[in-house]
Amino acid sequence: MENLRFIHMSDLHYRKNYAAHGFEALIAAKQHPQDNVIKCLRKEKSEGLDFVLITGDLTHEGEAEDYIALHKLLKAELGEIPFILLPGNHDRRDAYIAAFGQDTTVESADSVFDIKGLKIITLDTGRTINGEITESQTEWLSEVLKQPSERGYLLALHHPLIDNQDGLPPALHPDSFTELIKSSDILGIFCGHTHHNYIAQFAGKPYFTADSMAFSMVSTEEMLTFKDCAAYTVMELSDRILSAGVRQVVPAVADIASFSSDKLSQLFSE
């Protein structure tokens, strides 16, 4: 079975234009998140991509025009490569559905996508600031997981599920949700919201939190520090094993030198 290669990115906090004051001015202080997204997609597309997964906070309290602009940007950069996304706590559902509705399978953000035999399930946890998975979403998920899937399932949501991840509470969820995940054929869980990458397990399944494509924050009791940092994760699925590689866009890791393979053997023989 061929390997699948995809990108997991999160928390773009995109706006076409940011306000020159307050929180929005901080987001765009160094580099527009759009530049980070373009840089990432151009690089990774050239290495082959089966799809792109974006786990919420697509915009920062964006208006319809922001979602339309983001949709246009993704289409222009990705062409025929599919993208799968879901909203976060900073997204407005009506504006999101208006721009991306034609790319979702149902009129909500709880959806199922099939890419080359792999089923990707998106759950909308982002209606409240700390996130919530309801009983009825759990029932819906349980029905989805009964459908056969050739390559298994991935589950994507905005909020973390692990307690105290970067000092944040997990999305509220019923015990039946954890039990359902434990007994499922889910190969990996993907989320964002914390703006810090984190790899662990939830209910015995591999669990990946992506960095933000806009900025990073470090909070202590006295201070909240914004960091000019943007990164995403390159994922590879080989049979039923997921491997992850975190790639930084900002600060970019500088190249010292690059060599073609014939020059490289020459270098080591010198």
Cβ-proximal residue to Fe ion, closest one: 193
- C-beta of 89 vs 248, nearer to Fe ion: 89
Of the CA atoms within 13 Å of residue 197, those in its CB half-sphere come to 16
Q: Which of 171, 103, 173, 169 is nearest to 137 (CA)?
A: 173
Q: Which of 33, 87, 88, 188 binds Fe ion (CB under 5 A)?
A: 88
H/E stretch holding 53 reads strand 51-55
- C-beta of 126 vs 206, nearer to Fe ion: 126
Residue 125 φ then ψ, to 5°: -100, 0
- The interface with Fe ion within residues 19-58 (CB under 5 A) comprises 57
Q: Which of 31, 89, 108, 176 binds Fe ion (CB under 5 A)?
A: 89
Task: Decide: 212 and 192 in contact? Cβ < 8 Å.
Answer: yes
Task: Name the minimum Å distance from CB 199 to Fe ion.
Answer: 19
Q: Is 87 in the site for Fe ion (CB under 5 A)?
A: no
Q: Which of 13, 15, 173, 193 binds Fe ion (CB under 5 A)?
A: 193
Helix/strand number for the chain, H first, E second: 7, 13
| Cα 129–Cα 247–Cα 162 angle in degrees, nearest 5 | 35
Task: Name the minimum Å distance from CB 73 to Fe ion.
Answer: 20
Which range in 32-40, 82-90, 99-107, 238-246 contacts Fe ion by CB under 5 A? 82-90
Contacting residues toward Fe ion, per CB under 5 A: 57, 88-89, 193
